[in-house]
Each structure stands twice: as C-alpha cells, then as structure tokens.
Amino acid sequence: MSAVSVQAIVGAAPSPIEAPDVDYATISPLLIILGAAVLGVLVEAFVPRAYRFVTQIAVAVVGVVAAFVATVVVGAGLDTVDGEVTGRGGPTAMGSLSVDGPAVVTWAMLLFFGLLGVLLFAERRLDGGLSAFTSQASTPPGSADERHATRLRIEHSEVFPLAMFALGGMMFFASANDLLGMFVALEVLSLPLYLMCGLARRRRLLSQEAAMKYFLLGAFSSAFFLYGIAMVYGYAGSFGLAEISTAVSSQIGGQNLLLAGMALILVGLLFKVAAVPFHAWTPDVYQGAPTPVTAFMAAGTKAAAFVAMLRIFFVAFGGARWDWAPAVWAIAIITMLFGAIASIAQTDVKRMLAYSSIAHAGFLLVGMAGLTSGDGVTSVSAVLFYLVAYGAAAIGAFAVVTLVRDAGGETTHLGRWAGLGKESPVLAVAFTIFLLSFAGIPLTGGFISKWSVFAAAWDGGAWPLVVVGVVASALALFFYIRVVVLLFFAPPQGDGPTVAVPSPLTWSVVAITVAVTIVLGVLPGPLLDLVQQAGAFVR
C-alpha cells in the first residue's frame, strides 16, 4: 500500500498517536466476565481433575454475580443525557462501546440468563453423576474409547469458560458502538456456542451434526454481515455508528452502496435472531445441542442480537428508516405466521420450542416498528421487556425438557409427554405456565410483552403488523393449548414419561423462571419502569 493511500485513510495530516483513554470502571462488567473466562482456561490447565468441575462452577458463578453487581453500580451511575433524545450514559473506551441505558439493561438481562445457564450446566444428578456434556468430545460416538472415558468419569469442564466467553461476546455485541467491534463481538459469542452445541452426552451424532450445521451456516451469515460492513464503510468512510448516522442523514455518496450494505448487515443479524427465511438452522440446532446449551443460547443470543440490531438500525441507519422498515415489516409478518403455523406440525418438544422461538423473533420484529423515543411505549423498551419475559420462559421450558427422561436420556417426542400431569403435577404446571406465557395469556409475562410490542408498533403507525400479530398469536395459542391438554388429559403411552429427580440446581432454575414469568404478568410495573427509564440509545 502506498503512503498516499495510507494518508487518505488516516486523514489529511498525520497526527500523533494518542494513548487510549479507557474508563475501566464503566466497562468493568465486561472485563469481569472475560476475566472469569480467562481464569477458567487457567483452571482447566492447573487444577487437578477431581476439583476442576467444582472450581469451574465457582469461578463462573462468582464471575457472573460480580459482573451483575458491577452492572447495577454502573447503571445507577449513568448520567442523564438530554439531547434530541432522552437517554442515559454514552460512548466510552474511545467511542468503541456505548454504555447507555439499553446496554446496561441488556447486560443485566444477559447476566441473569448466564447465571441460569451455568446452573443448568452444573446439573450432574440427572445422568448418573455426570453432566449433560460428553466425556471426551474427541472420541468417536459409540467407540470403546468413549466408554473408557465415561468409565473414568472424565468431563468437559471447559464448557464453563466457553459459556463465559460467549456471554462476554453477547454483552459486547449489545453495547458495541462501531461495526468492527460488532463483528468481533459476533464471532466471540458465536464460536464458543458452535463448540458447545457439539458436546451432548446422549445422541452425539445428532449433536455433532447440529454443531457442524450451526458453524457452517453461522460462518456463511457472518460473511454477509462482514460484506455489509465493508459496503457501509465504503459509503460512510467510517465504522462508527455515530459517523455513519451523520453520513446517512446528509445523504452523501451512492445510495446503492448504503442500501446493499444495510441489507447484508440485516441478513447477518436476522440469521442470529432466527427470522424467516434465515431460520432453517434453528430447529436442527435447538434439537441437537445439549438442552442446557439450547436454553442458554435461545435466551442469550436472541437478546444480544436483537439489541445489536436495534442499535445499528436505530442509531446508524435511523435516517434511512423508510428504506429498511418495509423489509423488516415483511420479514416480521412472514416470521410470525411461519413460526406459528409450523409449530402446529411439530412432534418433538425441542423442535416445537425452536419454532416457537422463530415466531417470537417475528413478534420482536413487530416491536422494531415502533417509535424510537417518546413518552409512550418505545421500540427499545418494548423489545427489552419482551426479551426478559421470553428468555426467562424459554430457559425454564428447556430446563423442564432436561427432566423428562427415559432410558435413552431425555425423551423429547411429544407423544411421550402425555400424562405428565399425573407423573409430576408440579413440573407439568410449570411447563404449562411457560407455554401460556409464550402464547401471551393474561397474567403471564408473555401477555404484557406482546401487549407492549403491539402497543409500540401501533404507536409507530404499523397497525397492519399488529393485526397480523394478533392473528398469529391466536393461531399459536391453539397449538400451545393442545400441548397443555396433552400433558394433563391425554392417556399416557405405555408407562408414561418418567421424571428424573434433579439436584436443587435445576429445581431452582425452574422455580426462578416460573416466578419471573408470573411476576412479570401480575406486577410488571418495576421492569416496565426500568426499561422505560433506560431511554434511547446514545451514540
């Protein structure tokens, strides 16, 4: 590269390199989680095998809790910004991160999901004293080596640092303030998840296939995302969301470059949130991955990717709203209807929850059609609330899936769930509550979340989306109710399902998620206030 072109990139006059000025306190939650991840790697190398699993749990739990406390402290200390929009906090670390209201709320949400995920990962009572992860991933499924490893009770305790890296990536994704940072975050969150998907103890071939599919398709969609970033850079001459926003508003240069860039970035994000037609991986991966991992990524990935999507499209591309909004509308409609109708045909619990997750991506996209700021329900607050309510119910539902078992491990065929209400009324009631929340029945968190995204969209003038949304939720309700009837009223097949007795870890996850689902339905006030107070994105 010649000196001239380097100068063109850096600017007309070379300026002296400044030392980066980073406010470490503000980004401490992120640092704590990534620190816990690195510490976990060291634990893996130095702690004797007998203590490794327990030490890893301790490191992860302490890390998540410490990061949560730090998040609360950071959140309480954010300054209110009154500019064009009302918000809190602002860019930090040389503008590469934006620690604003929505970012802090998302951090807290992700850490909450992360804690629940770690508790599920740590469960060892269900499978004869071993975790849900394979003993040695390098052994071929069904081989003598695998049996040998199982007999030695070897375990992959690396899942904990992997989960911490993924969690750190998610938090980074939700708060990155430039496109390059976002790409790095996307990879940091995705790579560990690809790995973890392939680590199931039972049905290993299915699990490895899922990991392979997720990796290939994920890499494919990342390429779109990256190409989109390149095009937008070509248009705006910067990766920073604020600079892009200025460029978009002043309409410099070729619009085609911007439009194509936006479309490609959208593809990458829609893949992560599992919106139609970029959803195909979801059922296969949700089904194949170890169920605790499915729970963690269903809640976490969706939350991180949605907040990142709102941030990019509201902050950077806010000025071109009417260029991208119609596409989002169309995808929201297709996604809601497809998810709702396709779930009707499912016979596998995990696939059913996967299609339900697709439908929920559609409802969340409806929320994106609202206003970006104002007194009423804004897009950001509606989507944040929805993510909390959906994530809690999804983790809870998958936690229940881990408990319904037969000789071959988890039994996920819906027919085998018939009569669960007799076998374990408590578990069946818990699962019913999650389904009712997915369906959006009043007095569950799902109702308030549906109401808030619909209200936001209606305020934003997107009433056709609301009409389709109401119809789609009615369709979906029909299916959920059928499952409820199956649980309580259908005669059991054979001996019926057996419910494994878990340790307090899984029980506490189920109890916490049930409590959150109901509290968000009956007394949603505090959380609604919080997401409302979080204000708009600050660039």
Partner 1 sequence: MTSMSSIVLAASEHADVVPVAADGVFSWMWLLVAIPAVSAAILLIGDGAGDHGPLDRFGHLLGTAAAIASFVVGVVGFVALLGQDVAERAVTQDLWTWMQVGGFDVTMSVYYDQLSALFVLLITGVGSLIHVYSIGYMAHDPRKRRFFGFLNLFIAAMLVLVLAGDYLVLFLGWEGVGLASYLLIGFWQEKRSAAVAAKKAFIVNRVGDLGLALGIMLMFAQFGTTNIHEVGLNVTNASQSVATALGLLLLLGACGKSAQVPLQSWLLDAMEGPTPVSALIHAATMVTAGVYLVVRSAAIYDLSEVARTAVVIVGCVTLLFGAWIGCAKDDIKKALAGSTMSQIGYMMLAAGLGPAGYAFAIFHLITHGFFKANMFLGAGSVMHGMNDDVDMRHYGALRKLMPLTFITFAMGYLAIIGFPGFSGFFSKDRIIESAFATNFWAGLAALLGAGVTAFYMTRVMILTFFGERRWREDVHPHESPKIMTVPLIVLAALSVVGGALTFSDWIEDWLTPVTGSEHHELGVPAWVITLIIVAVVAVGASLAYVLFARRDVPDTAPQQVSVFTRAGRADLYGDAVNEAVFMRPGQYLTRSLVYVDGTGIDGAVTGTAELVGDGARGLRRLQTGFVRTYAAEIFGGALVLVLALLAVNLA
Whole-number Å distance between alpha carbons of 443 and 439: 11
Contact flag: residue 173 with partner 1 (CB under 8 A)? no
Taking the least distance from each CB to partner 1, the nearer of 106 and 381 is 381
CB of 401 to partner 1, least distance (A): 15
Contact flag: residue 85 with partner 1 (CB under 8 A)? no
Contact flag: residue 77 with partner 1 (CB under 8 A)? no
DSSP state of 414: G
Stretch of residues binding partner 1 (CB under 8 A), selected from 81-89, 92-100, 126-134, 461-469: 461-469
Long-range contacts of 80-88 (CB under 8 A, 24+ apart): 80/535, 81/535, 81/538, 85/372, 85/373, 85/535, 85/536, 85/537, 85/538, 86/373, 86/535, 86/536, 87/535, 87/536, 87/537, 87/538, 88/533, 88/534, 88/535, 88/538
Burial class (CB in 10 A: 0-12, 13-18, 19+), 184: middle
Q: Contact at 8 Å (CB) between 418 and 347?
A: no
The partner residues of 413 in beta bridges, in order of sequence, read 348
Contact flag: residue 532 with partner 1 (CB under 8 A)? yes
Contact flag: residue 256 with partner 1 (CB under 8 A)? yes
| Residues between 184 and 243 with contacts to partner 1, criterion CB under 8 A | 212-213, 216-217, 220-221, 224
Contact flag: residue 414 with partner 1 (CB under 8 A)? yes
Those residues whose C-beta lies under 8 Å from the C-beta of residue 292, and which sit 6 or more positions away, are 117, 120, 121, 123, 132, 398, 399, 402
DSSP state of 78: P
Contact flag: residue 69 with partner 1 (CB under 8 A)? no
Contact flag: residue 386 with partner 1 (CB under 8 A)? no
Whole-number Å distance between alpha carbons of 340 and 481: 13
Contact flag: residue 499 with partner 1 (CB under 8 A)? no
Taking the least distance from each CB to partner 1, the nearer of 265 and 394 is 265
CB of 424 to partner 1, least distance (A): 10
Taking the least distance from each CB to partner 1, the nearer of 330 and 515 is 330
| One of 110, 174, 262, 380 touching partner 1 (CB under 8 A) | 262
Q: Contact at 8 Å (CB) between 56 and 161?
A: yes
DSSP state of 174: H
CB of 190 to partner 1, least distance (A): 15
Taking the least distance from each CB to partner 1, the nearer of 133 and 385 is 385
Stretch of residues binding partner 1 (CB under 8 A), selected from 131-139, 142-150, 190-198, 272-280: 272-280
Contact flag: residue 458 with partner 1 (CB under 8 A)? yes
Contact flag: residue 489 with partner 1 (CB under 8 A)? yes
Among 279, 388, 391, 259, which residue's Cα sits nearest to residue 332? 279
| One of 8, 54, 474, 515 touching partner 1 (CB under 8 A) | 474
Residue showing tokens 């006030």: 525
Q: What are phi and psi of 498, to 5 degrees?
A: -110, 145
Stretch of residues binding partner 1 (CB under 8 A), selected from 125-133, 138-146, 149-157, 271-279: 271-279
E strands, 170-231, in order:
none
CB of 452 to partner 1, least distance (A): 7
Helices (H) and strands (E) in the chain, counts: 21, 6
Q: Count interface residues toward partner 1 (CB under 8 A).
A: 78
Residue showing tokens 């890893």: 56
| One of 77, 140, 253, 425 touching partner 1 (CB under 8 A) | 425
| Residues between 292 and 351 with contacts to partner 1, criterion CB under 8 A | 323-324, 326-327, 330, 338, 341-342, 344-348, 351
Contact flag: residue 264 with partner 1 (CB under 8 A)? yes
CB of 524 to partner 1, least distance (A): 5
CA angle (319 as vertex; 315, 325 as ends), nearest 5: 90
| One of 25, 478, 504, 515 touching partner 1 (CB under 8 A) | 478
Q: What are phi and psi of 505, to 5 degrees?
A: -60, -55
Strand 498-499: give its sheet, edge to edge: 409-410, 404-406, 498-499
| One of 443, 499, 511, 518 touching partner 1 (CB under 8 A) | 443
| One of 47, 66, 490, 519 touching partner 1 (CB under 8 A) | 490
Pull the structure tokens for residue 16: 């002296």
Contact flag: residue 252 with partner 1 (CB under 8 A)? no
| Residues between 344 and 373 with contacts to partner 1, criterion CB under 8 A | 344-348, 351
| Residues between 40 and 59 with contacts to partner 1, criterion CB under 8 A | none
Stretch of residues binding partner 1 (CB under 8 A), selected from 96-104, 292-300, 467-475, 501-509: 467-475
Whole-number Å distance between alpha carbons of 65 and 312: 29
